[in-house]
Chain A
Amino acid sequence: MLLTDSDSPVLAEAVKLLDGWHLERRAESSVAEAVDTLPEVHAVVLTDGNPGVLRSVIDVAQRRGVAVIMGCADDAGRRRAAELRISEWFFLPGTAEEIAGRVRSALTRTEISGTAVADRVGRVEYEQMLYDYLTGLPTLPVMIERSRALIKERGELIVLYFNFVRYSKIEEIYGWEKLDAVLETTALAVREFLHDSSLNTSRVMVSFANDDDFVFFHVPAPGVAAASDAQITELVGRLQVFVGSKIEEAHGEDIAALFDIYVGRSHVYYNPKIRFERLIYRGIREAANSAKSIEERERGRRVSDLRSSLRDRGVYIDYHPIVVTDTREIFGYEALARGVMRSLRSPEVMFEVAAEADLIWELSRLCRSRAIEGMRSRLRGDELLFLNVDPHDFADPDFNVIESSEPHRVVIEITERTAIKDYPKFREHLKRFREVGYRFAVDDAGSGYAGLGSIANLEPDFIKLDMSLINCIDTNFIKQNLVETMVRFANDMGAKVIAEGVERAEEYATVQSLGVHLVQGFYLHRPSHGGEAPAAGVERFGAAN
C-alpha cells in the first residue's frame, strides 16, 4: 500500500504502474498515525512541507521500515528533503512514471538502511577476514573451528609453514598488481601440488589474509602414520620446483628467479590440559622458526657461492635493448648482471647476498667491468650502454672516471629507490663523471612518493619510469596522467623518458601516444647475451598480441 497526503491524480496513475499496489489518502496530520497503525503500508509520498509533520512521519517510518518519498515544490523543499535524509524525492507535480520509479528505488534503499547496513557491511568484512580474497583460502579462525574435532580424535598433527621470500621485492619492482597475480599463481600451484601428493589424506590449508605466508595442517588419516621428516623434506624439494615452474610459466623467468620458498615444520600432539588454540599457535610459531633457520642456513650457503663467484669472475651480462619508441630502432642496451651459479641467477638476489656479506663494492666492480668488456663485441658504434650503479658505489675509491675508454657511450643509471643523504656531495661525484662525458639516468623514477623534485636535483639525461607505472597503463588513467606529467617535465628539462617493462602491445601503444621517447621490455625484445638475435623476442611476444 502506498500512503499519501496528496490528492493529485498523478499518484493514482503511479500506483497503477506499481504491480499489486493500492493508494490510501490521509490528511497531513494523520499520516504519521496511519504509518504506525496500518500494517500493509510500504511507502509514503508526502507533498506538504510542514517540518513538524515531516519529522514525525520520518521517525515512525524509519522505525517501521517504511520508505518515504517527498514531492518538493521548489529547491528549498529539495534541500529540506536532503537534510532529513529522505530516501527519494521528486519535483511536484511529477509524472506517474517518475513517482513509481522513485517509490521502487526508495524501497530498495529502505530495506537496507540503518542497522541492516551496518550488519551487511559487518558481514562482508567478516567474510573477508575468514577467507583470503586473493587465494580463497580459509584463514586461521576458520581452520581451527573446522579441524578441532578431527585433531582431538587423531591426537596429532603436523604443521608446515611456507615462507615465501622476496615477494615484497616483486611488489617494489613491479607493483602490487603483479604481486597479487603472483600470489594467486602460488596458491593455486601449492594447492594443486598438495592435492596430488602423498599428504593428501586429511589436511587443511590456511593463508594469512593479505600476507604472503601460508600454513598447512596435516592430520594423519586413520590407520596411516604421520609423514616422516624424510618424506616431508623430499616433498618440499619437489614443491619448490613445481611452484617455481608454474611462476616461470605465468610470469617469466625474472620473477621466477626471485622466488624462494622455505618450509619449516613442527609436530603438535593433542593435550586436553592445554587450550586447543594455544596448541595450534605454538605449533605455527615453532614451524615458522624452523623455516627461518632453514632460510639462514641457505643464506650462509649463498654467501659462500658469492665468494667463489667473485673469485672466478662468475658473472655474465644480459643486454636488454632500449629502442626508439616511434621507429623501434635500437638506441642502446641496459646491462643486466647475472650470476653464473644457479642460486645467484637473479641480480636482485645476488646483490642482496652481497649486501649481507658486505661485498657490494666487490660485486659492483665485477659487474661493471664485465658489462664494459662486452660492449665491444655486443654494441654497434652509436649504441649506448646503460649501466646500473648503486649510489653507494660512488664512495668506492676504485670507481672512477677511467672506468670506460668511451665515456660518451655510457649512461650511468642511478635508482630513485636508494635514498641519497648528502646531495651536494653526490652532485660533486656526478659532476666529475659528467665532465668526461658520462651521462646519467634516474632509474625507477616515480616509484616513491617523492615526486619530481628529487629527479630534477640530479639533472638526468634520461628518466626511466618505474615498471609499476607501465604495468597495465592502457587501462589505468591515473598512470597515464602520471606518465604524461613526467614526459612534459622531461621535455622541459631536455631529458628523454624511457618506459621499462613494456610487455604488451596495448602498453606499447599507450606509452607511444603519451610521447614517451624510448621503450624497453619483453614486448619488443628479451634480454640476451652471446650472439642470439634479439628479433626472437619480437616473434615470441609481438606476434602473440
Chain B
Amino acid sequence: MTEAGRPTILVVDDNHDNAEIIRQYLEAHGYPISVAYDGDEALTQFELVRPSLVLLDVMMPGRDGWEVCRIMKQHPLLGQTVRIVMVTALDEWSDKRQALQTGADDYVEKPVDLPKLVKTVERNVAMLRPQP
C-alpha cells in the first residue's frame, strides 16, 4: 500500500499502446501503476514492486498469462495475498474453469471497457486482506 492507501497495480500487456491507455486511466483514478510488457518482465516486477493487484493479459509471446498467473500464485511470499485479474475474453464454461485452475480471481473482457475495468479493480481491491 502507498501513503495514499491505494494499492499498487501491475499492468501486464505486450501491446504498449494498450498498457499505456490502461496505465493512464488507472493513474487518473489514483492508483500507482507499474507496467510490464512480457511474462518474464512481469515476474521480475512482481517481486520488486510487490503489487496488490495484477492485470494480466493472456495472449503474450513467450510465457502466456496463464503461466505467469500460476507462477505468481505459487510465490512463497506474495502468492497468498495478490489478486490476479485476467484480461481476456472467457466465453466458454471451460475457459473459466481453466482460469480457476490457474488461481485467477477475476477477469475483464477484451477489448477493455475502461469504466468497467475500474469497477473490476475496485471490487478486487475491496477483497484485499488488510496489510500488517
Q: Which residues of A contact B (CB under 8 A)?
A: 78-79, 82-83, 85, 108, 112-113, 116-118, 120-121, 124-125, 128, 131, 133, 136, 175-176, 446, 448-452, 468, 475-479, 481-482, 485
Contact present for A117 and B99 (CB under 8 Å): no
| Cβ-defined contact, A121 with B40, below 8 A | yes
For B127, give the chain A residue with the smallest CB separation. Answer: A475
The residue from B47, B74, B75, B96 contacting A478, defined by CB atoms under 8 A apart: B96
Whether, in the assembled complex, B92 has its beta carbon less than 8 Å from a beta carbon of chain A, the answer is yes
B28-61 vs A, CB cutoff 8 Å, 1 = contact: the mask equals 0000000001001101110110000000000000
In the bound complex, CA of A79 to CA of B20 (Å) = 10
Would B44 and A477 count as touching, CB distance under 8 A? no
A478 lies within 8 A of B44 (CB): no
**Cα distance A116–B76 when bound, in Å?**
21
A482 touches B93 (CB 8 A): yes
Which residues of chain B in 1-27 are interfacial with respect to chain A, using CB atoms and an 8 Å cutoff? 16-17, 20
Which residue from chain A places its CB closest to the CB of B15 in the assembled complex? A82
Give, as a whole number of angstroms, the nearest-CB distance from B44 to chain A.
5
Q: Which residue of B lies closest to A177 (CB)?
A: B103
Can you list 17 contacts pairing A with B, beta carbon distance less than 8 Å?
Answer: A78-B20, A85-B16, A116-B44, A117-B40, A120-B43, A120-B44, A121-B44, A128-B71, A128-B76, A131-B76, A175-B100, A446-B97, A449-B98, A452-B93, A478-B104, A478-B105, A482-B100
Q: Contact between A451 and B94 (Cβ–Cβ < 8 Å)? A: yes
Contact of A82 among B16, B92, B107 (CB under 8 A): B16
- B93–A82 CB distance below 8 A: no
Other-chain contact of A475, B41, B93, B98, B105 (Cβ < 8 Å): B105
Q: Which 4 A-B pairs have the closest CB atoms?
A: A82-B16, A451-B93, A449-B94, A477-B106
* B101 touches A (CB below 8 Å): yes
Q: Which of A133, A176, A481, A485 contacts B101 (CB 8 A)?
A: A176
Q: In whole angstroms, what is the CA distance A476 to B43 when docked? A: 22
Contact with A along B60-100 (1 / 0, CB 8 A): 00000000000100111001000000000010111011111
Contact A108 B48 (CB under 8 A): yes
Q: List the A side residues contacting B93 at CB < 8 Å.
A: 446, 449-452, 482, 485
Distance between Cα atoms of A117 and B45 in the complex (Å) = 9
Which residues from A are CB-within-8-Å of B99? 478
B116 within 8 A of A: no
| A116 CA to B92 CA, complexed, in Å | 38
Contacts of B127 in A (CB 8 A): 475
Contact A85 B74 (CB under 8 A): no
What's the minimum C-beta distance from A182 to chain B, rounded to whole angstroms? 16
Decide if A112 touches B48 in the complex (CB within 8 Å): yes
How many angstroms from the CA of A475 to the CA of B101 in the assembled complex? 15
Return the contact of B17 from the options A82, A85, A117, A468 (Cβ within 8 A).
Answer: A82
For the complex, give the distance between the alpha carbons of A446 and B94 in Å: 9
Q: Which A residue's beta carbon lies closest to that of B74?
A: A133
- Give chain A residues whose Cβ lies under 8 Å from the Cβ of B110: none
Known contacts: A133-B74, A451-B93, A452-B93. The answer to whether A477 contacts B123 by CB under 8 A is yes
Contact indicator B40/A85 (Cβ below 8 Å)? no
A253 CA to B74 CA in the complex, in Å?
28
11 further contact pairs, Cβ within 8 A, besides A476-B106, A478-B90: A78-B20, A113-B41, A117-B41, A118-B40, A121-B40, A124-B43, A448-B97, A449-B97, A450-B94, A451-B94, A482-B96
Q: B interface, by DSSP: helix, strand, loop or mixed? A: helix
CA–CA, A475 to B100, complex, Å?
12
Q: Is there an interface contact between B76 and A133, defined as CB atoms closer than 8 Å?
A: yes
When distances are taken between beta carbons in the complex, the residues of chain A under 8 Å from B104 are 478
B112 to chain A, nearest CB (A): 16
Closest residue of chain A to B38, judged by CB? A117
Give the contacting residue for A477; candidates B17, B40, B45, B124; CB below 8 A.
B124
Residue from B17, B48, B76, B93 having most chain A Cβ neighbours under 10 A: B93
B110 CB → nearest A CB, Å = 15
Complex Cα distance A85/B15, Å? 11
Bound together, the chains give a CA A112 to CA B44 distance in angstroms of 8
Known A117-B40, A121-B43, A451-B94: A478·B48 in contact at CB below 8 Å:
no
- B13, chain A: closest CB distance, angstroms: 11
Q: Once the chains bind, are B123 and A133 in contact (CB under 8 Å)?
A: no
| Residues of chain A with a CB closer than 8 A to B44's CB | 112, 116-117, 120-121
Q: How far is the CB of B16 from chain A (nearest CB, A)?
A: 3
Shortest beta-carbon distance from A130 to chain B in Å = 11
- Chain A residues with CB below 8 A from B101, complex form: 176
Q: Which residues of A contact B90 (CB under 8 A)?
A: 478
Task: Give which listed residue, B76, B92, B123, contacts A451 with CB less than 8 A.
Answer: B92
Complex CA–CA separation, A125 to B43 (angstroms) = 10
Cα A85 to Cα B92 in complex, Å, equals: 35
Measured CB to CB, the nearest residue on chain A to B76 is A133
Across-interface contacts of B47 in A (CB, < 8 A): 120, 124
Q: Smallest Cβ distance from B49 to chain A, in angstroms?
A: 8
Supposing A121-B44, A124-B47, A449-B93 touch, asked if A82 and B74 sit within 8 A by C-beta, the answer is no
| B-chain residues with CB within 8 Å of residue A121 when the two chains form the complex | 40, 43-44
Contacts of A124 in B (CB 8 A): 43, 47, 71, 75
Contact check, B100 vs A476: say whether CB atoms are below 8 A apart: yes
Tell me the smallest distance from the CB of B17 to a CB of chain A, in Å. 6
Decide if B105 touches A82 in the complex (CB within 8 Å). Answer: no
Which residues of A lie under 8 Å from residue B96 when comparing CB positions? 478, 481-482
Docked CA distance A117–B36 (Å): 11
B99–chain A nearest beta-carbon distance, Å? 5
Contact of B20 among A82, A112, A451 (CB under 8 A): A82
Q: Which residue of A lies closest to B16 (CB)?
A: A82
0/1 per residue, B105-132, Cβ < 8 Å to A? Answer: 1110000000000001001100100000
B94: chain A residues within 8 A (beta carbon): 449-451
**Chain B residues with CB below 8 A from A112, complex form:** 41, 44-45, 48
Q: Which residue of A lies closest to B45 (CB)?
A: A112
B66 to chain A, nearest CB (A): 13
Q: Which residue of B lies closest to A112 (CB)?
A: B44
Chain A residue nearest to B49 in the complex (CB): A108
Name the B residues within 8 Å of A475 (CB-CB): 105, 127
